[in-house]
Structure 1
Amino acid sequence: MRRTLIALGVGLGLLGSTVVSVPAQAAGSVKVLLASTVPVAQQVAAFWLADDAANLRNATPYAVRTVLQGERLSTPVVPDGPPFQIPPIPLEEERPSSTSGKVFFVGADGQPHWCTGTSMQSKYRNIVATAGHCVRDTQREGATLDKWAFVPGYSEGTTPWGLYVGKLAFVHHDFDVYAGHDRDFAFVNVYGGVVSSSTGVLTNTGKLAENVGGQGIAFNQATTPSADVLGYPAGPHPDGTRPYTGQTLESSTGPTFAVTLPDAPTGRLIGVESPFTGEGAIGSSWLYDYSGDSRTGHLNGITIGVSDTDGDNRYDTGVSPYFDNEVRAVYMSALSMWTGSIAQPAAAVASRPGGTGLSSHP
């Protein structure tokens, strides 16, 4: 076992983004500490927002474990229990926002990188869903990716709804120990959002899902005739073409099906027909029952890699863990975790689109 165990509530204030993790109450769920104190979180926010958000602008798409040698299966995925759903959080007013965004972090190479992430339904409106290897560093034994933060609605270097620093994350035990593909998912609890003034003072922008909404989630579903994939693909196809820039949110729609990885035997995986390239698209949300009007649906997959299943040198399939009862247990561990704010609420945040200045305390 490659993680160090500590008692809940003991020593947490001394830890920032570390390799220490704590077993959660749910079986199979592991708590991973990110920026566990407000001073550390403020340092993370300053790293990304300083110098006109230079580190956000200079970050490159994460290129670790993006391509999988997947094969489509004709047999269906068999659920391990009855279907279960949690509804999404629609916004109470119409405004241009997006639950999708980029998760930013510093990798093993010491450079800033990004994956895709998604705002989710939760008690304290503070969960981001992404791939497990966009939180846990599979290149370093027992390590966590540093300076983790989420920017919803990211486009061309902007932070329209603020930046949300990760406080802690929940991953599956099998991914924490073995980095298995079938458990490559993470649910991250983030602090309230912040923006930075010209003097570097952080201003609170409020709870994540109150600003941008939150997707629902579904478990033990049959493969669906259609799923909408939302993400920020940026890498090339095997033939060298680059259809995406990674600067704006992209979407695709296709059926889902069971897949297998012959070169990496693992548990149940599903695929979706999608032309997304791997770099940047890791962590993309798969939504079924998606409504273009409300921009909400039910998360039922997260891209952990892409495959060229027909051999034409162009990626045609996204791969995800199957959302079963074990995914549900990890999600439920994150569902009721309170995180709080790292800055004082603003009297008014008029310059932010849709700004409310909502407090981050329950």
Structure 2
Amino acid sequence: MICCRIPVRRQTIHPGSPAPATPRTRRRVALGLCAALGLTCAGTVLAVRAFAHGGYLASGDPLTGSYAEKAADGDAAADALLSGPYTERPAPPRAITRMTAGQETAVRGKPAEPPVSQPLQAAPTAVSAPIGPLFSPGNDGDADHHCTASVVHSATRDLVVTAAHCVYDGGFRTNLVFAPGYHDGVVPYGVWVPSRIVVDPRWADRRDEDHDVAFLRVRRPRGSGPAGQRVEDLTGAERIRFSPPGGLPTRTVGYPDDRETPVSCRNTTTAGSGQLRFDCAGFPNGTSGGPMLTAVDPDTGLGTVTGVIGGLDEGGDDETSYSSWFGPDIAALYRRATTDGA
């Protein structure tokens, strides 16, 4: 599926051989075929994708990369999820909602996990309240939970970050449900649905891998939780850092689509042209959008997001994960997400 991370090992391409049909080249092939047949390509590709996602797509405003979700769509998605084998079992709000800058500095003086996992392979890890899977209930061709997302601190206290390819695929997905702290069919902090989704217009226009990041403003669906409740007040939030250098000790977390608990791995990142690279095996489908965390407090488990699995090859391959670099463009997207439609 184009919407999800597909582990693809890179192949050696010999001179004169056609490029393999990766998730990104398939779209170009479709566009080329449309043009050759004299068809309206954008509409045709959108129709194909709408069919692939069971019709759960909305156009939004691709020129600005924003979408205000209809309340009825979010409520219906939440109802569909909770009518399945999932249970809301309320957990108490987190006592610490976020780290201050001073607390983040203090983390560096605490005993920490080893900087590199041995072996360099993602392994089962403890659940963290701000991190959870993105579900897409309905017959849209995806697994129950197809991506990962995390709550990040904002003045609005309702902001979630993930990969753009998890939420926009020729249109904005209208059947998304976020379940922070999810494990084993239990939803301890309730389900949350988007009220607004923001991606960079360059992702909406051409799936620019340097802008594979999305921010979601989320809310409680109808009949779920106190009115006006904000997700950050319940789960706490990761901090977010822009223009991070490479070489930072990093813990990457994601929910494989065939597991009911998360996996994580520790290594240092490498910064490249428009991308942040994280070498560790074991991040398959479902882990796209998972946070790359630095300065993780061993007491609270909270850290600082410097990337999300996505970017190059929509996340990487069996051995390596990527993130679009959180530079000035992503910082501007964050600012727009916290003010757009506020």
* Alignment partner, residue 166 of structure 2: 134
State how far apart, in whole Å, the 1-side matches of 2:296 and 2:142 are: 37
Amino acid at match of 2:331: R
- How big is the shift at 1:165? 0.7
Pick closer, same or farther for the CA change 1:111–1:306 going to 2, 3 Å.
closer
Asked if 1:53 corresponds to 2:75, the answer is no
Pick closer, same or farther for the CA change 1:114–1:226 going to 2, 3 Å.
same
Give runs of aligned pairs for residues 281-296 of structure 1, distance below 5 A.
Answer: 281-296=287-302
Amino acid at match of 2:98: I
Give runs of aligned pairs for residues 168-317 of structure 1, distance below 5 A.
Answer: 168-192=196-220, 202-204=224-226, 206-234=229-257, 245-259=258-272, 268-304=274-310, 305-307=314-316, 315-317=318-320
Q: CA deviation digits over 1:295-338, x for unaligned, max 9?
A: 22211111014545xxxxxx322111011000000011112457
* Alignment partner, residue 20 of structure 1: 60
State how far apart, in whole Å, the 1-side matches of 2:202 and 2:233 are: 32
Give runs of aligned pairs for residues 319-334 of structure 1, distance below 5 A.
Answer: 319-334=322-337
Give runs of aligned pairs for residues 341-360 of structure 1, distance below 5 A.
Answer: none
Q: SS in structure 2 opposite 1:334?
A: helix
State how far apart, in whole Å, the 1-side matches of 2:142 and 2:278 are: 33
- How big is the shift at 1:105? 1.8
Q: SS in structure 1 opposite 2:187?
A: coil
Q: CA deviation digits over 1:65-100, x for unaligned, max 9?
A: xxxxxxxxxxxxxxxxxxxxxxx8259xxxx85111
Flag structure 1 segments of 5+ consecutive residues without an equivalent.
4-15, 25-29, 57-87, 195-200, 235-244, 260-266, 309-314, 340-362
Q: How many residues align?
A: 251
Aligned counterpart for 2:131 among listed residues 96, 100, 103: 100
Pick closer, same or farther for the CA change 1:2–1:332 going to 2, 3 Å.
farther
Q: SS in structure 2 opposite 1:290?
A: coil
Amino acid at match of 2:244: Q
* Alignment partner, residue 158 of structure 1: 186
Q: SS in structure 2 opposite 1:204?
A: coil
327-336 vs 102-111, greater mean Cα deviation: 102-111
What TM-score, normalized by structure 1, do the two folds share? 0.62
Flag structure 2 segments of 5+ consecutive residues without an equivalent.
1-40, 44-55, 89-96, 101-126
Amino acid at match of 1:50: S
Q: Do the aligned partners of 2:246 and 2:269 also contact (CA within 8 Å) in 1?
A: yes
Q: SS in structure 2 opposite 1:174?
A: helix
State how far apart, in whole Å, the 1-side matches of 2:221 and 2:232 are: 10
- How big is the shift at 1:246? 2.2
Name the one with the larger strand percent.
Answer: 1
* Alignment partner, residue 121 of structure 1: 153
- How big is the shift at 1:51? 4.3
Q: SS in structure 2 opposite 1:296?
A: coil
Pick closer, same or farther for the CA change 1:178–1:108 going to 2, 3 Å.
farther
Amino acid at match of 2:178: F
State how far apart, in whole Å, the 1-side matches of 2:131 and 2:42 are: 32
Cα RMSD after superposing both structures:
2.9
* Alignment partner, residue 72 of structure 1: none
- How big is the shift at 1:289? 1.3
Q: SS in structure 2 opposite 1:255?
A: strand
Structure 1 segments of 4+ aligned residues over 3 angstroms from their partners: 51-54, 106-113, 201-205, 305-308, 336-339
Q: Do the aligned partners of 2:251 and 2:264 also contact (CA within 8 Å) in 1?
A: yes
Pick closer, same or farther for the CA change 1:90–1:211 going to 2, 3 Å.
farther
Name the one with the larger helix percent.
Answer: 2
- How big is the shift at 1:211? 0.5
State how far apart, in whole Å, the 2-side matches of 1:110 and 1:98 are: 24
Q: Do the aligned partners of 1:224 and 1:288 also contact (CA within 8 Å) in 2?
A: no
- How big is the shift at 1:152? 0.3
- How big is the shift at 1:17? 5.8
* Alignment partner, residue 353 of structure 1: none
- How big is the shift at 1:212? 0.6
- How big is the shift at 1:122? 1.3
- How big is the shift at 1:104? 1.2
* Alignment partner, residue 167 of structure 1: 195
State how far apart, in whole Å, the 1-side matches of 2:99 and 2:83 are: 32
Asked if 1:109 corresponds to 2:141, the answer is yes
* Alignment partner, residue 44 of structure 1: 77
Q: SS in structure 2 opposite 1:332?
A: helix
- How big is the shift at 1:171? 0.5
* Alignment partner, residue 176 of structure 2: 148
- How big is the shift at 1:192? 3.0
State how far apart, in whole Å, the 2-side matches of 1:181 and 1:108 are: 24
Q: SS in structure 2 opposite 1:224?
A: coil
